A and B are shown apart, each in its own frame.
Chain A
Amino acid sequence: MNDALPKVVGTAVKRKEDERFLTGRGQYTDDITLPHQTYASFLRSPHAHARIVSIDAAEAKSAPGVVAVYTGEDVAADSVNGVPCGWQITDVDGEPMKEPPHPILAQGKVRYVGDAVAMVIAETQEQARDAAETIMVDYEELPAVTSVRKALEQGAPVVHDDNDLQDNKCYTWSLGDKDAVDQAFSGAAHVVSLDLENNRLIPNAIEPRAANAQYNAPDDSYTLYVANQNPHVERLLMSAFVLGLPEHKVRVVSPDVGGGFGSKIYLYPEDVCVTWAARKCGRAVKWTGERSESFMSDAHGRDHYTHCEMALDDNGKFLAMRVHTTANLGAYLSTFSTCIPTILYATLLAGQYATPAIYCEVDAVFTNTAPVDAYRGAGRPEANYVIERLATEAAWKIGVGQDEIRRRNFISEFPYQTPVALQYDIGDYGQCLDKANKLAEVDGFEQRKKESASKGLLRGIGYSSYIEACGLAPSNVAGALGARAGLYEVGEVRVNPTGSVTVFTGSHSHGQGHETTFAQVVAERLGMDVDNVDVVHGDTGRVPFGMGTYGSRSISVGGAAIARAMDKIVDKATKIAAHLLEASEADVEFANGQFTIKGTDKSVSFGDVSLAAYVPHNYPLDKLEPGLNETAFYDPTNFTYPAGTYICEVEIDPDTGTVDVDRFTAVDDFGTIINPMIVEGQVHGGLAQGIGQALIERTVYDEESGQLLTGSYMDYAIPRADNLPSFKLDTVCTPCTHNPLGTKGCGEAGAIGAPSAVMNAVLDALRERGVTQLDMPATPERVWRALQTA
């Protein structure tokens, strides 16, 4: 008999990918140099809004090393379409959202600083850049608008000339029962209201975007290497909607990718430009963004203004929420931009609470700024910020603890249908809160506050009980809400003749460690060592199909697809085993890598079965095909609902306004955890970005000129090691009820829950000094100023 193999799922297996990265042998897009390589440089608009009167590129075309120069005219002459938006929102009036074109090189007008105007291709990067500087563009400057509130004012500059866009509004959208909400407010014992800004962020993956395209004349095909989170979607959008190429003639490879956080989900104009140009000039064309280009042209995140109100009864029970949000979409619609402040935002406004009535209205607005799209959390941090700031304000208003107000309102019975469309399958919010309270040593807070006060410092504590909808997404639900694609995932499990396994997944790892986590899922099920499983991702030429990685979907949808493919593998292998064991299939069971006739010691190993599948000499060829290679498309039946409670403690120096995050505790329920080490790492990273948003990160456009004033690391701060404390983490596990792994996803939680926890703590510290209002980021100057004016 076989001893049970050690469990692989749930253990901190060291990452299979690490040695490659640690020894400098990762291969990122810019590391790839193709035969006959050329280099592209983009000339970008220095103006936020201007008409292009003329472009004179004669000098550039004859500059040393220059291979080609292309402008919007060349693009138009070749009938290259603009990049499409993947999600159509329907307006409150039942009309589709407005969709102005998003050309890959500006056509007649530029609409934000950084809008690409021309592309120069040369033998070297330096030559391309030198030549780009010689292009003379005659601009007629136009007034610009960068803030959503100004963009909605009468007489504001108009971003798009279309008749139906004179108000700069892409759509007005709503969710929830307005009448029920109004009624609840009219009878409420207490009402709290807040005006909140959710600060605009620039994602800042440390690897800048890059793309390198090659046209292969003999078979009229293209290969694009690109730093992207979903190569199949990139290929689909580019070939079908923009360039009109047959999909099977385009291979998109997304090799090692140096972080994404949402910013590499999209089909960007530069990706299309290099692909189109590779054929036009017959050379491989590589573009690698400089950091300043990343700041200007990567899709930004957040940028909401929200007025929100909460109605409560005498006991602090939430009766209703009313929310109005104005969301900045930037100058053009990025791939998923339109669903972020709607489908991924308003549907989350119930949070962890049994609030009976919720109504949310969203105005989405064009401005002369970079496109805004999903950034880690994508809509859900904004929703959590609204709910959790309101919940804490409510606690202060009626004089109960931040934990108590939450406990009184927690949803405790599942499944739970929220008033904003989602149905939560499972959770245990009270347990997360209790664990967090203990781990954060909340009992000692008052003592610590006294100690801080004795040093002249203010101490505050802040809670956030967040929920997110992950595992995007049931395709039929997404489709009904406007998605123009399905949101299933694909897994192929290829058992090799000698029993090792190669997994092909449509998920993409850009730091998440799929090569290890997915291998664990396979190793556990098939009873083999993790080293016998390799995971392949990021190549449309190798992976059947995929929808990519974002929205904390990889393990719950991509992993589930692999699990489903393994079901098929085990199913077929059991038949083969039954044949080899001369037993009935019903009598054969599979465990620990062995197929055994129940109640006997007669068994055959998985390796023997796979060999038989590929060398089918003794094989039921009349009933089964040879081989052991299965593919599954998994379409989830519901979203997953990770949730947890975060507690932040800050210490503030009132003399300078400096906020120090002294303690941060996070208790998360991610359902089943495959690799706790990797999950912890994901939480750490999310928390860092969430704390960054709350305290140091902000994007500033000059309101008059539309110039990006935070266009480099000299002016845009991202957290360094000394900005952060060591976090205390723990987990609760209520396995997801509707996917085969019980997983929920963990990539975004930290970024979703942290900002409100930090800001609640900051305001808790400041309220004894009379401060009631403070926007993110809580920079020293802002805190100091709030203290002066309180």
Chain B
Amino acid sequence: MYRFEYAQASSIQDATAQAGEDVAYLGGGQSLLGAMRLRLAAPEKLVDIGRIADLRGIKNSGDTLNIGAMTTHAAVAADETVRSQIPALADLARGIGDRQVRNVGTIGGSIANNDPAADYPAGVLGLGATIVTDQRRIRADDFFTGMYETALKPGELILQLSFPVPESAAYIKFKQEASRYALVGVFVARFDDGVRVAVTGAGPAVFRCEPLEQALSGDFSADAARKVTVSPDDLSSDIHAAADYRAHLIPVLASRAVAKAA
């Protein structure tokens, strides 16, 4: 790691007050510190927001589930409220990284990083969550803007995520064997007004799969998902999988997600 300044923020206000050019918020740091160790990232200052109590915790308020940005993957996976309200989200969290990483990595950190193969973006977009920051509320549909890019402005801090509770939902991840990130991951969520399907790992950033949403909104069945054809255009090709294989996997995994959700 190159050298940098470090400050521990005692409150949300304290954190945002220290924001500035080349300043990064440090959550769990499981992605950021990894990149810094490889000298691929070099912020001049880290503001550690991991100790801010207001950013942690899980609350159920009516038909939404609110999760603080600094809630760890392990906490989400183990939380009884999440497991009863949106078990698919607990499931997703249980499959992120590995056990040690889940003990430290946070939901806010994950979606702010927006790794093209990360799991949480699929859950956040698939459930149509709202990202609450110190400045505004951002719909998931507007949040993930590109590879490692989000709608967050410099210095903007994610406070919590609000998830609408679906009728049913499931996430199926097909792992890239080395990294254990998603080679393709499909999150399917059924609401009374339709079905949302979000795909991670397959493109430059998480995206909604309209052909699947249409098919499943009409017929929420594994067969219906399986019959959908996804175009490989715009999907990723790399040493781990070509675009056509990823395109093939999307409806296969979607059908399994539907079966699991049902």
In residues 82-114 of chain B, which contact A (Cβ within 8 Å)?
A: none
Bound-state CA distance A700–B241 (Å) is: 13
B178 and A715 contact, CB distance less than 8 A: yes
Contact residue among A696, A709, A780 (Cβ-Cβ distance under 8 Å from B239): A709
Is there contact, CB below 8 Å, between B178 and A656?
no
- The residues of A that contact B38 with a CB separation of less than 8 Å are 292
B118: CB under 8 A from chain A? no
CA distance A105 to B239 in the complex (A): 31
One of A713, A714, A781 near B242 (C-beta < 8 A): A781
Chain A residues contacting B239 (CB-CB under 8 Å) are 700, 709-710, 715
Most buried by A among B178, B241, B252: B178
Asked if A717 CB lies within 8 Å of chain B CBs, one says yes
* Complex interface: chain B residues within 8 A of A784 (CB): 245, 248
Q: Does B59 contact A (CB under 8 A)?
A: no
A656: B residues at CB distance < 8 A = 174, 249, 252
Task: Given A656-B249, A656-B252, A784-B248, decide whether A716 and B240 contact each other with a Cβ distance below 8 A.
Answer: no
Could you tell me the dominant secondary structure of chain A's interface residues? loop
Q: How large is the interface on B (under 10, 10 to 19, 20 to 34, 35 or more residues)?
A: 10 to 19
A717 with B177: in contact, given A700-B239, A781-B241, A781-B242 (CB under 8 Å)? Answer: yes
- Is residue A568 within 8 Å, beta carbon to beta carbon, of the partner chain? no
Q: What's the minimum C-beta distance from B38 to chain A, rounded to whole angstroms?
A: 8
List residues of chain A with CB within 8 A of the CB of B240: 715, 781
Q: Which of B154-189 contact A (CB under 8 A)?
A: 174, 177-179
Query: Cα distance A481–B242 when bound, in Å?
Result: 45
Q: Are B252 and A655 in contact, with the CB atoms below 8 A?
A: yes
Q: Mark B115-152, 1 if CB is under 8 A from A, else 0.
A: 00000000000000000000000000000000000000
Which chain A residues lie closer than 8 Å to B178 at the CB level?
696, 710, 713-717
Chain B residues contacting A709 (CB-CB under 8 Å) are 239
State the Cβ distance, A605 to closest chain B Cβ, in Å. Answer: 54
A190 at the interface (CB under 8 A from B): no
Residue A779 at the B interface, CB < 8 A?
yes
> How far, in whole Å, are A781 and B179 apart by their CA atoms in the complex?
16
* The one of B179, B241, B245, B249 that contacts A715, using a Cβ cutoff of 8 Å: B179
Q: Which residue of B lies closest to A716 (CB)?
A: B178
The answer to whether A98 has its CB under 8 Å from any CB of chain B is: no
With A656-B252, A715-B240 known to touch, is A781 a contact of B177 (CB < 8 Å)? no
Inter-chain contacts of A780 with B (CB < 8 A): 174
A785–B245 contact, CB under 8 A?
yes
* B148 CB to nearest chain A CB (Å): 15
Interface centre among B174, B177, B245 (most CB of A within 10 A): B177
Name the B residues within 8 Å of A717 (CB-CB): 177-178
Q: Which B residues from 241 to 256 make CB contacts under 8 A with A?
A: 241-242, 245, 248-249, 252
Q: Across the interface, which residues of B come within 8 angstroms of A655, CB to CB?
A: 252
Interface residues of A in 718-755 (CB under 8 A from B): 723
Chain A residues whose CB sits within 8 angstroms of the CB of B242 once the complex forms:
781
Residues of A in contact (CB 8 Å), total 19
Output the least CB separation between A648 and chain B (Å): 18
Nearest Cβ on chain B to A88's Cβ, whole angstroms:
37
A656 to B241, CA, bound (A): 12
A698 nearest CB neighbor, chain B only: B239
| Residue of A whose beta carbon sits closest to that of B245 | A781
In angstroms, Cα B254 to Cα A110, docked, is 48
Closest to B253 in A: A656
When distances are taken between beta carbons in the complex, the residues of chain B under 8 Å from A713 are 178-179
* CB-based contact B177/A696 at 8 Å: yes
B225-262 CB mask vs A (1 if < 8 Å, else 0) is 00000000000000111100100110010000000000
A785–B2 CA distance with the chains assembled, in angstroms = 44
- Give the distance in Å from the alpha carbon of A723 to the alpha carbon of B242 in the complex: 23
Interchain nearest-CB distance for B72 vs A (Å): 22
In the assembled complex, how far is the CB of residue B251 from the closest CB belonging to chain A, in whole angstroms?
10
Residue of A nearest to B38 (CB): A292
A715 CB to nearest chain B CB (Å) = 5
**Nearest CB in chain A to that of B246: its residue:** A781
Chain B: CB-nearest residue to A714? B179
Of the listed residues A656, A713, A779, A784, the one surrounded by the most CB atoms of chain B closer than 10 A to its CB is A656
Inter-chain CA distance A139–B34, complex, in Å, is 30
- A714 vs B178: C-alpha distance in the bound complex, in angstroms? 5
A779 and B177: CB pair below 8 A? Answer: yes
CB distance from A580 to the nearest CB of B (A): 62
Q: Output the nearest chain B residue to A133 by Cβ-Cβ distance.
A: B39
Docked CA distance A715–B242 (Å): 15
Chain A residue nearest in CB terms to B249: A656
A149 to chain B, nearest CB (A): 19
What 1/0 flags go to A592-611 for Cβ under 8 Å of B?
00000000000000000000
Smallest beta-carbon distance B105→chain A, Å = 16
Q: List, in ascending order, chain B residues with CB within 8 A of A714's CB.
A: 178-179
> Considering the chains assembled together, what is the distance between the CA atoms of A781 and B177 in angstroms?
11
Instruction: List the B residue with the shortest CB-CB distance to A782.
Output: B245
Q: How far is the CA of A714 from the CA of B174 in the complex (A)?
A: 15
A 515-570 contacts with B by CB, 8 A: none
The chain B residue with its CB closest to the CB of A720 is: B180
- Minimum CB–CB distance from A429 to chain B (whole Å) comes to 35
Of all chain B residues, the one with the shortest Cβ separation from A723 is B177
Nearest residue in A to B252 (C-beta to C-beta)? A655
> Once the chains are docked, how many angstroms separate the CA of A525 from the CA of B241?
57
Q: Could you tell me which residues of chain A, from 649 to 694, have a CB within 8 Å of some CB in chain B?
A: 655-656
Give bound CA distance, A716 to B178, whole Å.
5
Interface string of A753-790 (1 = CB under 8 A from B): 00000000000000000000000000111001100000
Task: Report how far A723 CA is from B177 CA in the complex, Å.
Answer: 9
Question: What's the Cα separation between A277 and B48 when bound, in Å?
Answer: 41
Residues of B within 8 A of A715 (CB): 178-179, 239-240
B19 to chain A, nearest CB (A): 27
Q: How far is the CA of A748 from the CA of B177 in the complex (A)?
A: 25
Give residues 270-292 of A contacting B (CB, 8 Å).
Answer: 292
Measured CA separation A716–B176 after assembly (Å): 10
- Enumerate B1-48 residues with CB–CB distance to A below 8 Å: 2, 38
Chain A minimum-CB-distance residue to B241? A781
Shortest distance between the CB of A550 and any CB in chain B (Å): 27
The 8 A CB mask of B176-214 against A (1 = contact, 0 = none) is 011100000000000000000000000000000000000
CA distance in complex: A713, B242 (Å): 20
Closest to B178 in A: A717
A781–B241 Cα distance when bound, in Å, is 6
Q: Complex: how many Å from CA A696 to CA B239?
A: 13
CA gap between A786 and B191 in the complex, in Å: 38
| A204 smallest CB distance to B (angstroms) | 11
Interface residues of chain A, those whose CB is within 8 Å of chain B, are 130, 292, 655-656, 696, 700, 709-710, 713-717, 723, 779-781, 784-785
> B residues within 8 Å of A by Cβ?
2, 38, 174, 177-179, 239-242, 245, 248-249, 252
Question: Could you list 14 examples of A-B contacts with CB < 8 Å?
Answer: A292-B38, A655-B252, A656-B174, A656-B252, A696-B178, A713-B178, A715-B239, A716-B178, A779-B177, A781-B241, A781-B245, A784-B245, A784-B248, A785-B245
List 14 additional contacts besides A717-B177, A781-B245; criterion CB under 8 Å. Answer: A655-B252, A656-B249, A696-B177, A700-B239, A709-B239, A710-B178, A713-B179, A714-B179, A715-B179, A717-B178, A723-B177, A780-B174, A781-B241, A784-B245
Instruction: Return the 4 tightest CB-CB contacts between A and B, nearest first.
Output: A717-B178, A717-B177, A714-B179, A781-B245
